[in-house]
Structure 1
């Protein structure tokens, strides 16, 4: 058995994870990874008698990971998980991390941080402000009835359904199926998939479409865009003469809308469409949705895209 110091560390790490709201099943798995490392240290006669975590060096970890890969045939995914768990242990202990200097393991992309997501309180405030006239000028209030359903629908598609910004602005009327509350998301940047709308969101999209004057209204089952660019000065919808169709709302316009609503809600600067999608993905993981199902729901092309989110959860 590993030393008492090692066992105490495992217990401390488990309490640390529990305090961060990790699920018991997750804590059990991470504790197993740490205990397995301790068993390897003992069998390899590398377990320090004291000051374990300051005594172990980068070479020790390189040897361990090499053993996991060559002797146990661990997959890259499993190696990456063990890498993250051990790295998080050093963070918990507030010690320099020798694992970061390894040449053996491919380093993940920039780690996601708390500020890459929005909290439930921020989400609640943002959704409230979308339905409110709070902080609007008289000019803005005059066009609010035209834009309220659109803005709510946009934000909901991002945070409730996990669309990317590119997917959102690429939606066309032929992708929307009001009869069964679904949208077929085209494979613009990810995998084609179908999302289910809530009854309220379906009604918002329907009312938004009907609020657009018929001559410039996107037509059902057509290539016309779902969301149409709006001219605030003239209070009219833009028309694309090149396509002889309503002009699609742009990514820049959506980001500006979100920025203004975030500002009006007195939330922190920088919240964007990506923050909303990140939050959707994170909540799927927290609710223990299976990895394969998450990939389907968000349109990822491979499991690699999920790595950063699982790393954050650890």
Structure 2
């Protein structure tokens, strides 16, 4: 297998968790909410799914891979959605500052993941001893037949189902936001909640639904990283800054889910580029890791200068809506 093919495969693998996080955040931001808790929610989704699979496999002598997948997937979605619910209650109902709540949620989520990850490691026999290989095998199962095609199979059909789900979700979200009435209502709320409210749209309900569902989608990024990418193991702080890259990708994608697909794979490639460049020092490696953020800043500057409305963030992004002040 050529070095270029290996690089492209790894770029895709790196980008999937970022794509899940960005897709979830796009849905959230389209409602006008800015959830900086996405990195923490990804941690919660990852460790919750791993814990569910671990206790399931410990409870039976003959664990079923498919059942383990269903259990871990459900628990991960519930845990991530709960994180979105916490954010929603605090920012929508209690009117707390969105940035503060988001950052606090990230701190909580990272601590939650590392605490329970370390605790389960000790229960399993020591640091790094968590292993749910039976369940992970279901997540990592490749497409039969197609994955054996030379080059094409390796590049397009050699991934687990969450990789393909991330792309399918992004496409469905794009259709939902542009072609459905509920999607148009959601975008209207993000642009001008007072006008949407006056038109009879339930602003709070849409904001709650978008934020909670967005968190659940983002949490799948954590589950992917733990189950498919790491093969059913846990590494404290192993996510790195992928959660923040997901938030940056929302800007690069110009709040368009389809753009997030190619953007996530671009970010994935830039994130690991330093591994494939010979002769780099530790300092230059760290500079290479900055490339996704540099690209995002450049895109933000260019889109601001062009001043096209469709390339701008929702007008009410990050602003609380008080109906009595309408």
Give the TM-score, by structure 1 length.
0.21
Select the structure that is richer in strand: 1
Structure with a larger share of its residues in helix: 2
TM-score after normalising by structure 2? 0.20
Larger Rg: 1
Q: Which has the higher contact order (CA 8 A, sep 6+)?
A: 2
